Structure 1
């Protein structure tokens, strides 16, 4: 069974997930780590990429499923009707927890090992190494998309038009900055675009040119490669490692037909399970007749959802939403309160010490959820070290050098924030205030847009989704602000 996605404390190479296998996002220095309800987006929402009408595309896909042994329960239907966005899967009859919804044989998975150029990709594996780890799969897709007799052609017919993907990497830069400033998404996208371009020109294009008999000129395009990276972001799955293999590199992504049709919400009702021969989608909750079947892409905040899939869950539906306080912002807040140069030098020394402990970094972030601090140890240690008296800091450095463990009471929980030392709360409050200044709008402005249904309805899709991302983050930060303000002198 897929394990919950872990929240990274750094935004830089965000994590990449895949629909279902997506429950375990792949760490990716390329594109950073769903689908939702009501105003959510599905990677299949834009319609098939082929020329067939929707009904013909679905019928062709279902015939293909029967031919390759992909077993769909008679209780489910692939449909655009009754779904939150685009294609989805709907219950024809009531489904009980534990019931099998469909089973995908491993022979049908599309990966570098199953594609028609698997031998070539294996022989050249050494030349295809990259930071992302996605190059072999992307080359497999580039080949299969232009192969007239590809086994997966009926599956491709349900894909969206690649030119209509809604990931922020395809938004004009001005729009991305205007709508998502402060959320961390513009910075993540810029890194994606730089890495994608570098990977394409240094590895992918030379490989295709060297093997031109397998890759027609029509697929040798940076734009197409960027679109396929986004598609892998939104569609691919990554099989979780066994518990004893946690220290190993993550498994490579792969494509799982049928599984990527399901939309995502945090309160999902189905999950993907793995066995030697099949990947099985199983109901986890009762699903009444006519209701949509939802998978999970992992515990993903709205900024991750919009970055990787082009949508956000409307507030307050995403119970996994988070807000980040950049680690350097806490440092800046501490320096802002320094009385003189000597105190500033001492704070810089403490920050450098925290860096050596790997508690902080220039690109890291403290991650705050609605009910918990996901980077509890890092934030508690940072507040403590930056706020402790000078004599205590010298003793603390000696203890840390001996490898002595933190005491349990040094942890930090949301409910305990009002009980923290005044200096800790003041530094945390100042850090939150600095973070709120990075957004282009304040909480009330966003609140007014959300509360006025007529105005909200006139916003573009991108404006609506970006608003949900900003608002959810600000609500978490303002809750934290209230907790830190309690009983402050």
Structure 2
């Protein structure tokens, strides 16, 4: 995970702000050994939003932009109550895995002499975070209907409340000397969860450790200043002694330096970070068809009870094969289906003749490999079997009905600059984001799959 775009005036979340937070932060970097290249500068000018990092001179691929010693990282292992958090590790287990870091932040934020105080001065004001979890429920549902974000937010809010009242608050009350009353606040905890969601990093596991639990999140000063785009020009590298931000592309003088948060669709960006990349800049954007929507589309084509029973049997078999699930989704990229095996198998099983399905089950899902090209690239959709194309098209139509607007309405808004400028920031983000991507991606699918 990486850091989000900054947008508004920043200051220390708890306590007063430095009149020149950048100068204070850069001085602190020198004191703690956080090395910034003379070719880069932290700036509010020439950045996509708020603070960012800009090249003062041209930078070549492979050049070091800055190095963060591991002692400077803020985590459950480096904070001033690390020993206590380690001793109480069992009691701090949670679904998110973030509770120890959040407690570390709650403790350090209230400490006037915290080693990270100059770093906190560059944080956004916690009350200004733009995650959908802070939007009114009505606005969230109206603007993001059909994207899956409102449902994800509801789960987040339930988990946050549960963690706070069952784990975090009892822990703080058990250690009143370490946590002042002003940080024992569900609102502050809620805001810090959003900040950790957006600004923290997670060190990847080694290949041989893939079966282990993920590493806990940590805060990386300087790295969380960089904004994100899909076509990024820098990347964070992990080494035993430090974390290094390295240029991956030539960066001309005056251009902003961008990190990546990973291959993130716009619905993920707005959910986790509170912003999207305007269409069509996000080349990692995707659109989802809920798996149960494909089942619903298939049921639409049944005429008698026997056909419906057989289709339910097929669906149950797909569940047994772990190709589908009640909460799963088929993920569609710009050029291909990213969940190709799952969707191909689903279309195959739901569309095959009854006798062929019996044989398929008898062979434990191993069908005849001698079949036509069924690769699910957007361009290849016209070559699919007619029954597959029909089911895919019906699924697309059902999905598009879940959105509050249609493609033409969105295109009209985007093309009318005067009207677009009058929209709220949230309305603009929603328009450029998940529902827009789904409509545009599936317009391609509709054109291809309409040749029936």
SS of alignment partner, residue 122 of structure 1:
helix
Indicate if the aligned counterparts of 2:40 and 2:56 stay in contact, CA closer than 8 A. yes
| Structure 2 residue runs without a partner (length 5+) | none
Match in the other structure for 2:122: 158
Deviation by residue 1:275-305 (Cα, 9 ceiling, x = unmatched) = 1001000001111111110111110010001
- Tell me: CA distance 1:205–1:52, structure 2 relative to 1, closer, same or farther (3 Å): closer
- Which of 252, 265, 283 is equivalent to 2:229? 265
Match in the other structure for 1:18: 2
Provide the rounded CA distance (Å) in 2 between the counterparts of 1:139 and 1:270: 31
Match in the other structure for 2:355: 391
SS of alignment partner, residue 229 of structure 1:
helix
Match in the other structure for 2:85: 121
Match in the other structure for 1:480: 445
Indicate if the aligned counterparts of 1:155 and 1:257 stay in contact, CA closer than 8 A. yes
Indicate if the aligned counterparts of 1:69 and 1:105 stay in contact, CA closer than 8 A. yes
Indicate if the aligned counterparts of 2:293 and 2:399 stay in contact, CA closer than 8 A. yes
Provide the rounded CA distance (Å) in 2 between the counterparts of 1:136 and 1:43: 25
Q: Report how far residue 52 of structure 1 moved.
A: 3.7
Tell me whether 1:367 sits opposite 2:328 in the alignment.
Answer: no
- Which of 55, 66, 69 is equivalent to 2:33? 69
Tell me whether 1:286 sits opposite 2:270 in the alignment.
Answer: no
Indicate if the aligned counterparts of 1:43 and 1:235 stay in contact, CA closer than 8 A. no
Indicate if the aligned counterparts of 1:44 and 1:261 stay in contact, CA closer than 8 A. no
Provide the rounded CA distance (Å) in 2 between the counterparts of 1:315 and 1:46: 27
Indicate if the aligned counterparts of 1:43 and 1:309 stay in contact, CA closer than 8 A. no
- Which of 447, 458, 475 is equivalent to 2:422? 458
Match in the other structure for 2:138: 174
Residues paired across the two proteins, number: 448
Q: Report how far residue 45 of structure 1 moved.
A: 4.0
Provide the rounded CA distance (Å) in 2 between the counterparts of 1:48 and 1:314: 28
Indicate if the aligned counterparts of 2:7 and 2:50 stay in contact, CA closer than 8 A. yes
Q: How does 1:76-115 map to 2 (within 5 A)?
A: 76-115=40-79
Provide the rounded CA distance (Å) in 2 between the counterparts of 1:407 and 1:367: 26
Indicate if the aligned counterparts of 1:96 and 1:285 stay in contact, CA closer than 8 A. yes
Q: How does 1:302-313 map to 2 (within 5 A)?
A: 302-313=266-277
Indicate if the aligned counterparts of 2:378 and 2:444 stay in contact, CA closer than 8 A. no
Q: Report how far residue 399 of structure 1 moved.
A: 1.7
Q: Report how far residue 18 of structure 1 moved.
A: 2.6
Indicate if the aligned counterparts of 2:47 and 2:53 stay in contact, CA closer than 8 A. yes
Provide the rounded CA distance (Å) in 1 between the counterparts of 2:284 and 2:133: 23
Match in the other structure for 1:341: 305
Provide the rounded CA distance (Å) in 2 between the counterparts of 1:388 and 1:133: 44
Provide the rounded CA distance (Å) in 2 between the counterparts of 1:94 and 1:229: 37
Deviation by residue 1:163-200 (Cα, 9 ceiling, x = unmatched) = 11000000000111111111111111111111111111
TM-score (norm 1): 0.89
Provide the rounded CA distance (Å) in 1 between the counterparts of 2:179 and 2:288: 42
- Tell me: CA distance 1:414–1:245, structure 2 relative to 1, closer, same or farther (3 Å): farther
SS of alignment partner, residue 400 of structure 1:
coil
TM-score (norm 2): 0.97
- Tell me: CA distance 1:53–1:206, structure 2 relative to 1, closer, same or farther (3 Å): closer
Q: Which has the higher contact order (CA 8 A, sep 6+)?
A: 1
Q: How does 1:103-252 map to 2 (within 5 A)?
A: 103-252=67-216
Q: Report how far residue 51 of structure 1 moved.
A: 4.0
Indicate if the aligned counterparts of 2:374 and 2:384 stay in contact, CA closer than 8 A. no
Q: Report how far residue 415 of structure 1 moved.
A: 2.6
Indicate if the aligned counterparts of 1:321 and 1:473 stay in contact, CA closer than 8 A. no
Indicate if the aligned counterparts of 1:381 and 1:410 stay in contact, CA closer than 8 A. no
Tell me whether 1:47 sits opposite 2:10 in the alignment.
Answer: yes
Provide the rounded CA distance (Å) in 1 between the counterparts of 2:220 and 2:117: 14
Provide the rounded CA distance (Å) in 2 between the counterparts of 1:207 and 1:60: 33
SS of alignment partner, residue 102 of structure 1:
strand
SS of alignment partner, residue 298 of structure 1:
coil
